[in-house]
Amino acid sequence: MIELTGISRTFQVGGRPVYALRDIDLHIAAGEHVAIMGPSGSGKSTLLNILGCLDRPTAGTYRLDGRRVSDLGETELSQVRRHTIGFVFQFFHLIPRLTAAANVELPMVFAGIAPRERRARTAAALEAVGLADRAGHRPDQLSGGERQRAAMARATVMAPRLLLADEPTGNLDSASGRQVLEVLQRMNAAGLTLVVITHDPEVAGRAGRVVALRDGRIVAAAEPRFPLPPGGGRGEGVRSERET
């Protein structure tokens, strides 16, 4: 589904180029669950933005479903982001004055979906994340885990085939985090391609494959040793490709 070849991303800082990513080669098949790990500044967020078509690489080729993303215009990119990719972030980004159901409906409002279908799909999405009985509650009436699950329902209500999750348990306690991870795993088991950015070895340990970044480069990519040992966020706990 995802093919990255020679992907680099540079930014100009003080008139000098600074590499956020260097020569990234990465293939992710449809239906995979991949965790991307690395310390702060390793390039995780930059890579996620490129995967989500929110940013363009400075060099290299990104193919999504066989199509070169660089060949897509802004209208086509908007359609890809709306219908192919779902996003889940650490800080939920729910609209405070809207109920959980209304937050989940928003992508469908922008897509012009009829109200009756919106309501049906919203109910199904909330049911899938265990929030059917919380549909009428505003974010300030939900726990952190419930807010994240509402955000996940919103991210998947348009039936994307790829879900990108950026530190989805970063603001949650352990019990809420496990609930969120279990929902993500069920979605992946149902066929959704899942890419999770994390520094948490427990989160990464649930993935089918772990990719470790350091200084903008892939330094390891392998199946995780489950559970990953402490320090996994710095690349430990996965085997170098040379060892596999």
Residue 22 lies in a domain: no
Tell me the mean pLDDT in the region 10-33: 93
The Cα-based distances of 103 to 5, 76, 83, 114, 153 in angstroms read 36, 24, 17, 16, 9
Mean pLDDT (the chain) is: 89
- Which residue segment(s) compose the domain that 204 sits in? 32-42+83-243
Confidence band, pLDDT 50/70/90 cuts, at residue 223: low
Do 20 and 214 meet the contact criterion of CB atoms below 8 Å apart? no
Distance CA 108, CA 117 (A): 9
Phi-psi region of 159 (alpha: psi -120 to 50; beta: other; left: phi over 0): left
pLDDT tens digits for 131-162?
999 999 999 999 999 999 999 999 999 999 99
Q: What is the pTM of this model?
A: 0.86
User: Which tokens go with 6?
Assistant: 């020679």
User: What DSSP assignment string belongs to the chain?
Assistant: -EEEEEEEEEEEETTEEEEEEEEEEEEE-TT-EEEEE--TTSSHHHHHHHHTTSS--SEEEEEETTEEGGG--HHHHHHHHHHTEEEE-TT----TTS-HHHHHHHHHHHTT--HHHHHHHHHHHHHHTT-GGGTT--GGGS-HHHHHHHHHHHHHTT--SEEEEESTTTTS-HHHHHHHHHHHHHHHHTT-EEEEE-S-HHHHHTSSEEEEEETTEEEEEE---SSPPTTGGGTTTS--GGG-
Domain-located, residue 18:
no
Question: What pLDDT digit, counting tens, does each position of 153-190 carry?
Answer: 999 999 999 999 999 998 888 999 999 999 999 999 99
> Residue 127 has what pLDDT?
95
- Cα–Cα distance measured from residue 95 to residue 172, given in angstroms and rounded to the nearest whole number: 19
27 occurs within a structural domain: no
CATH classification of the domain holding 222: 3.40.50.300
- Residue 112 within a domain: yes
pLDDT digits (tens, 9 = 90+) for 53-82: 999 999 999 999 999 999 999 999 999 998
Total number of domains constituting the chain: 1
Does residue 65 sit within a domain?
A: no
Is pLDDT larger for residue 224 or for residue 182? Answer: 182
Specify if 219 maps to a domain. Answer: yes
Q: Is residue 23 part of a domain?
A: no
